[in-house]
Each structure stands twice: as structure tokens, then as C-alpha cells.
Structure 1
Amino acid sequence: MNPSIRWLAGAVGGHRTAFLSTLAANLTSQLALWGIALSCAWLVGHGSLTAGVPAALVLLATAAAWWESYVAHDLAYLVLARLRGQAYEAIARIAPARLLGRRSGDLSAVVLSDIETLEWLFAHTLAQLITSFVVLTAGTVAAFLINPWLPLVTLPLACLVLTVPLWLRRFSSRHGSAMRAATADLHADVVDTVQGLREILAFGAVDRRRALLADKTRRLARAQTANAARGGLEAALTDVLLSTAAAASLAVVALTVSSPADAPSPWSSRRARSHPQRRWRCCSRSTARCAPQPTGSTPWSPPPRTSPPRGRPGPSLATWSSRTSASATRPKAPRC
């Protein structure tokens, strides 16, 4: 892990209770959304579930989302206040020898803007990243229990989603550095303009200063546009992979629902695949002897027995031969 990331993650150590509350609230929200999807699917498929269960889960997800937003931002600004104090103390230690070549606007950008950017890490990234791994693992296990084909289809795509930021990491570092430099430069010029406004008016340099600030603003806008385009490309790639995983999962589920016996499964035996639809009928003489019979066929019934009328001679040879041939066509019942 990057030492800077490790140090920033360690800054949460002094607020362990707030971090655990954020993690529990985010995990509860995600599991409640998962339960809403499962309960609605069960309600549509079986109809044996009351509508109060999805409604209760919706209320739980709403309350957990609100609580997670509250405690996450509370944690973030507690950590940011601590980091901002540490930055002021560091500046006080190195002043004035190490600050001779630094502009006051650049220092204020470090203390204000750069630390404020870390709010995304503590409020929207750290706990959510841990929750994502937990939900992904639980979802993979549940999908395996439902149908072994589901994790085989979705898990590779989920791993690709995790690697999307690495594909454009070089561009991300370059765009972030350019936007950071442009922001600090513009912020420093604005602070210098405000502090030296009397001198600017005295020497008639208002137009030159206005042109300088407009040029720095356009430079920052170009850096932000490039960074936003790269972020949009990452989001598009992520959405494509997630949509592909969802479409593949729906295809597997549709095949399973339409033909549950014929649905492909890597763990089904060859015998079950060769005889997908069979039912067994027991013989009339012994229940230990059974014969397989395909579903939908007409069961065999013996021909009706006729007895000769009284006072007349027995059946002719042709009648007995027809009975013998009918008995010969009776199917043999193999032993189970």
C-alpha cells in the first residue's frame, strides 16, 4: 500500500467509534437493498410473502442511508479538522526559513483546498470500499447456492470492474497533478491580487491583472475538462461491465426459469442430462420392480380377458393365438 494512503487511513484511528458506525450503517443499507430485491423476487415468484416485508426493508434502507450519510460526514470533518491543525503546526515549524520561495496563496491552497479534497476519502470511500468487498463475497456465495453458473458469469466481470481505475492510472496521475498545479497557481494569484489591490490601482495594472486571472482560469478549466473526460471514460467502462454482468445473470436466470430440468449446470451428472424428464411407475405384481416411462406417454394396460359363454365350446385356436401375441407385446419391466 502507498505510504500516504496508509498514513491517511491511520488518521481514522483516533475516531474508531465513528468509523465503525459508518461501516455498520453502510453495510446495513447495502444488505437492506439486497433484501428488497430478494423479497420482491420471492413475492412475484411464489406469492407466499406479505408485502409488509419489502416495505419494512425499504424503511430500513432509507434510515440506514440517512444515518450513514450523517456519521460518515461527521467522521470526515473530524479527521479534516485534525489534519488541518497538523498542517498549520508544520507550517509554523518550518517558517520562515523554508517559506522564502513559497507564495502565501499556495500555502493557503494547501491548508484549505487540498485537505478539503480528502473529504471524499473519509466520507465516501474508506468504509464503502470495505462494504463492497463484504457484499461482493456474500453475493457470490448466494449466487453459487442458487445456480453455479451465476458466479462463473459475474465474478470475472466484477474483477474487471475493480481493475478499471488501474487501466487509466497514468492519465489519472497526470491530470490530477495538472489540476492541482493550476488550482494552486490561480489561488495564489487571487490572494496576491486582493492583498496588493492598492498598488494595482495606483499603477493602473487592473487590466493586466484581470487578463492574468482570466488566463489562469482558462488553464484550470482545461485541466478540469481533461480530468472530467477521463473520469467519464472510467464511469462508462464500469457501466458497460456492470450492464454486461446484469445481462448475463438475467440470461442464466431466464434459462433456469424457462426449463429448470434442462438448465445447464456444471455439477449435473451425465445421466441426469441424458434423461431430463422421467417418471417411474411401479409394476402391479411387485413394488420392488419398476420401469421408467417418459412423461406424457400412455401407460400400458393389458387386453381385456374374455371368457367363452356357458354351454359352448372353448375359444378357437385363433383366439388363443391373438391372446398370446398380445401378451408377447407387453413391455418388460427391468429391475431397479
Structure 2
Amino acid sequence: MNTPRIDTLKDVFTRHRARLLLTLLLLWTTMLAGTALLGLSGGFLTAAALAGAAGLGSGFNFFSPSAGIRGLTMARIVSRYFEKLVGHDVTLRIARDLRVWFFRRALPLAPARLAGIRTGELLARLMSDIGEVDGLLVRAIGPLLALAGISVVAVVSAGIIYPPAAALLAVLALLIGIGVPWLTVRGAGEQERDRALHRAQLRTQSFEGLEGAADLAALQAGEHWNQRVLVAAKQLKSRDRRRRWRLIRGNALHGLCAAAGLVAMLWLALHGFQQGAIDAALAAALVFLTVALLELWAGIGLAWQSWLSGRVAAVRLETIVDQAPGVAEPTDPVALPAQAATLSFDNVAFRWPGQARALLQDVQLELQPGERIAIGGDSGSGKTTLSALLLRLWDPDAGRVRYGGIDIAHLAQDHWHRQIAWLPQNAPVFAGSIADNLRLGDPDAGDARLWQVLADVRLQGWAEQLGGLQAWVGENGATMSAGQARRLALARALLRDAPILLLDEPTEGLDVDTAHALLHDMVAALGGRSLLMITHDALPEGIVHRSYRLREGRLG
């Protein structure tokens, strides 16, 4: 079986290469039309001024330059319009695909590889870094390539008119297009990485402050956290100021070179006219051509800065998604048993990477179809680790987890995950409707099935009172009590209709009456499915068939 090709950041841009090339062509056309327009206008006005009124009436070619000016003006307007239209369209498409690409590559790393990364840091990668990368070709690479093409055309055109002027333009192009930007961005890579780090820290502090606002208020620590956010903002501000000063220095150096170059071209054009090498109109055209090029070259510094920022952001994104997953997909997956089968842990041992203490040792457990088992233990005893191995977020260091006698490491992860309905501790309620939250368990479920599962967990009356399946539940279930939120999450897990239901601390934070009512409703709705429940709470009679306790990594 061939290993599937990994979708890279480069592939995201490659998919839009036709629109990107069209944008580049339109940008180049706009620049070319603008440069030619200024050069032609300058030469035409100079020739007209020298010819005077008499010359205009006796053989002076008025119509050809006028037609050229009108044509270039119209070409510049049209190409500018479509350049903006196509450029914004492809930028938005790339921004969309970059976010999909990041989610597609990052989600298989959760929670194993992403557990050590703070949510605010991931948010910074998703927002700030993708924002820097999505316009990389339109804001940086495209303008730089177009400017390089315009510079070549300008130098060749000047060489046809007056070779010394072409040499001067070539020197200016190298100096302003490469020399000044190199001096401006030299050593700035480390500063951009530092700036990106502090930008991520500010987002992290802000996000965590908002997420934990209730706890901060309860502990009267809001002002302390505000100070931390303020310090992070000031640190980022100092990095932004340093960046602005670097750009200002680059612009000042660019201005000096441009002023010297314009004076040199003016002298060269006058010298060529005095020597009879070129006429006055062509001499003026060379000067105006230089003015147009200098105006275009003024954007080189910003384009180089965008390239530097985008490159740093791209590296930060790839650092996240290029991590090896916690488990490897089998190259030749084994087919799942046709019917619900026995789940077993055979002499399983596990320790977290980098830790010396083994969380699980010689774990032996068997869950028959339709059987309900509870596993208890103190905090840190390895209960959640057991569920992580069952979900195959990690593979055991020793022993095997088997389903129907098949090592789950030999099953396709997607196929195996379809066998499990998982209700994690603190299962989230998403901002959306009741139906939106439920259909995460089964996207194809009809309204009748949704009402049935709501009735199974005693939420039908609540849903009707709230306004039906399309009623909005609020951010993180803000309109719901803790018990209602847990029941809605349970309904979502039951809707999945998988042969194994895995619950991790399903009654955490609930009062005893609410917890017991939830458990009884769950058992009634299970049908013939198996249940493996991780809990440290005492369970009422009839909820499970067998109970175990984890002590020092062993089941007893």
C-alpha cells in the first residue's frame, strides 16, 4: 500500500497557480502601462513645448503620442481594476485553504502532540501567522517579480534610446532593488521571530484571561492579569517600534539613492542632448522614465519586509504541523470484525515520553459486548491514560489493546474511531443550535432521531421550551446548566451509535442527584452497547456490571 502524500504549505499555493500567475501578469501590465505612460507623456510634452504653436500646426506629430497616452491610460485603468479583483479573490481563496490545511494537518496531532502547546499560541498561529502567509505571493513575491520584470524592460528600452542611461538605470535597480533592502532586512530575521513570539504571548495572555474571566473574578485576580496583558502589549509595542524604525531607515536610504539617481539621470540626459546623441524629447522621456521607476521601486522595502515576515510565519506553521503523530497509521490495515466483539487490554504498560514513572503496568482487562465496566482511582493514577490508549492517541509501551482478537494498531484509525462513542471530561457545548451540537455525533441524523435521543437523556422538554432543535445554546452552552450541558454531550455520544461507549468522568462537577439521574438515563439508552466508564465517583447499584480500581498502575 502506497503511503499517502503529505499535503504541504507549497501545495496550497500550487493549487491556485493559474490565478496567481494572472495576478502577477496584471500587476506587471499595470506597472508597465504606468511607467510607459509617464515616459511617453514627458517626452510628448517636452517636444510640444519646444515645437511651439507654429510647430503644432506644421507637421508636428500630435495624434500618435496622444493615441498612445490614451491607450496606456485605459490599459492601466483596466489592468489595475482586474489586478485588484483577481488579487483579492486569490488571496481570500488562499486564506481559506490555509486554514483548512492547518486544521487538516494539526488535528491528527491532537491531543498527543498539541497537548504541550497553549491554546493562545495555537490561536496566534491560526490567525496572525496565516494572515502573514496568505498574502505572501500577492504582497511580496508578486510585486518583487513584477518590479524585476519592469526593471529589465526599462533598462532595455533605455539602452535602445541612450546606452549610458541604461547603465545608470541598471546600477540604480541593483542598488535600490537589492542593496538597500539587504541593508534594511539584514539581521532582521531574528527580530521577526522575536516579534512573532511576543505577538503570540500577547494573544495567549488575552485569550486565557477571557477564558478564565470567571475564575479571575472569583479570586480577585483580574487586575493582576490585566497587568500581565499590559506588560505583554508593551513588549510587543517595543518590537513593532523597532521594526518601524528599521523600515524608516530603509526608506530614508532609498530616498537618498533615488534623489542621487534622479540628479544623475538628469545630468546624463542633458549631456546626451548637448552632445547630439539624443533629442530633447527622448532626453525628457528618460528623466520621466526614471521618475516612474523610482516611484515603483519605493514599494520594494515593504515587499521585502512582507517576504521576511511571511517566511517566519510559514516556518512557525510548519513547525506545528510537521511533527510526527503520536501513532502511525498501519500500511496494510486489517478489516474490522463484522459484529460487535470483545475489547481486551493484554498486559498493557505505558509511561509518558520523557517520564521515568510508569503510569500503567501489566493491565489486564476484558470488556464483552453489551457489558458495562467502571474503572476508578485517585487523580493521576492513569485512568485517563487508559482511555487515551483505547482511543489510540498513543500506543502502549508493552502489551496490546485488542478488539475481536485484533491489535487495534493494525486497524485504520478512522475505522477504529467509528467503533467508539467518546464522552470526554468537560465535553464542550459549541456555539450553535441544539441540532448543530447533536449532529456532530451523526451528521445524517434526521429530526426524529434527534428528538428521540433528547428524550433518552430527558432533554426533550427543555428543548421544546427553548424553541426546538434550531434554538441557540450560546457560547460554551451559556444558556444551559451544568447538568443540561452534560446531558446534551451524552446525547451527542449516544447518537453516534458505536458499539463501545467510553465515558471519562461523566459526572464531574454535578451534584449527587443530578449525577445519578444522568447515569440511570444513560444505562436505559445504551441498548446492547458496551460501556467503559472512567470515574472516581461512587456509582449507584445497577449502573455497571463490574468495577475496578487503578492503584500504582495496576488494575485491582
TM-score by length of 2: 0.44
Alignment of 1:264-275 (within 5 A): none
SS in 2 for 1:245: helix
Contact 1:75 1:122 in 2 (8 A): no
Instruction: Please give the root-mean-square deviation of Cα atoms over the aligned residues, in Å.
Output: 2.1
1:259-295 per-residue CA deviation (whole Å, 9 max, x = no partner) reads 42699xxxxxxxxxxxxxxxxxxxxxxxxxxxxxxxx
2 CA distance for matches of 1:135 and 1:62? Answer: 18
Q: CA deviation at 1:117?
A: 0.9
Q: CA deviation at 1:118?
A: 1.6
Contact 2:12 2:101 in 1 (8 A): no
2 CA distance for matches of 1:30 and 1:262? Answer: 26
Match of 1:49 among 39, 62, 65: 62
Tell whether 2:39 aligns with 1:24.
Answer: no
Normalized per residue, which structure has more strand?
2
Q: CA deviation at 1:174?
A: 2.3
Tell whether 2:89 aligns with 1:74.
Answer: yes
Quote the residue 2:112 is aligned against. 97
Quote the residue 1:39 is aligned against. 40
Quote the residue 2:245 is aligned against. 229
Unaligned regions of 5+ residues in structure 1, if any?
Answer: 1-6, 264-336
1:83-137 per-residue CA deviation (whole Å, 9 max, x = no partner) reads 2111112221111111222110110110111001123412222222222222111
Contact 1:171 1:230 in 2 (8 A): no
Quote the residue 2:102 is aligned against. 87
Q: CA deviation at 1:9?
A: 5.5
Contact 1:42 1:49 in 2 (8 A): no
Quote the residue 2:268 is aligned against. 252
Contact 1:22 1:71 in 2 (8 A): yes
2 CA distance for matches of 1:8 and 1:49? Answer: 54
SS in 2 for 1:100: coil
Match of 2:133 among 98, 101, 118: 118
Quote the residue 1:150 is aligned against. 165
1 CA distance for matches of 2:186 and 2:241? Answer: 17
Contact 2:184 2:247 in 1 (8 A): no
1:157 is aligned with what amino acid? L
Quote the residue 2:122 is aligned against. 107
1:50-72 per-residue CA deviation (whole Å, 9 max, x = no partner) reads 33432332232122122112211
2:62 is aligned with what amino acid? L
Tell whether 2:154 aligns with 1:139.
Answer: yes
Q: CA deviation at 1:185?
A: 0.3
Contact 2:184 2:249 in 1 (8 A): no
Q: CA deviation at 1:243?
A: 2.6
Kindly, what percent of the aligned residue pairs are identical?
21
SS in 2 for 1:97: coil
Quote the residue 1:187 is aligned against. 203
Quote the residue 1:14 is aligned against. 15
1:260/1:8 Cα in 2 relative to 1: closer, same or farther (>3 Å)? farther
Tell whether 2:175 aligns with 1:174.
Answer: no
2 CA distance for matches of 1:136 and 1:257? Answer: 24
2 CA distance for matches of 1:138 and 1:211? Answer: 56
Contact 1:105 1:192 in 2 (8 A): yes
Normalized per residue, which structure has more helix?
1
1:105/1:261 Cα in 2 relative to 1: closer, same or farther (>3 Å)? closer
Match of 2:224 among 203, 208, 212: 208
Bigger drift between 121-130 and 80-89 goes to 121-130
Bigger drift between 146-155 and 108-117 goes to 146-155
1 CA distance for matches of 2:46 and 2:147? Answer: 28
1:259/1:167 Cα in 2 relative to 1: closer, same or farther (>3 Å)? same
2 CA distance for matches of 1:49 and 1:262? Answer: 20
Q: CA deviation at 1:222?
A: 0.3
1:197-233 per-residue CA deviation (whole Å, 9 max, x = no partner) reads 1000001011111111111111110010001111221
1 CA distance for matches of 2:109 and 2:86? Answer: 35
Contact 1:154 1:248 in 2 (8 A): no
Unaligned regions of 5+ residues in structure 2, if any?
Answer: 1-7, 49-60, 280-556
1:26-81 per-residue CA deviation (whole Å, 9 max, x = no partner) reads 12111211221232133224342333432332232122122112211211221222
Contact 2:161 2:278 in 1 (8 A): no
Contact 2:162 2:277 in 1 (8 A): no
Quote the residue 2:80 is aligned against. 65
1 CA distance for matches of 2:202 and 2:278? Answer: 66
Instruction: State the number of aligned residues.
Output: 257
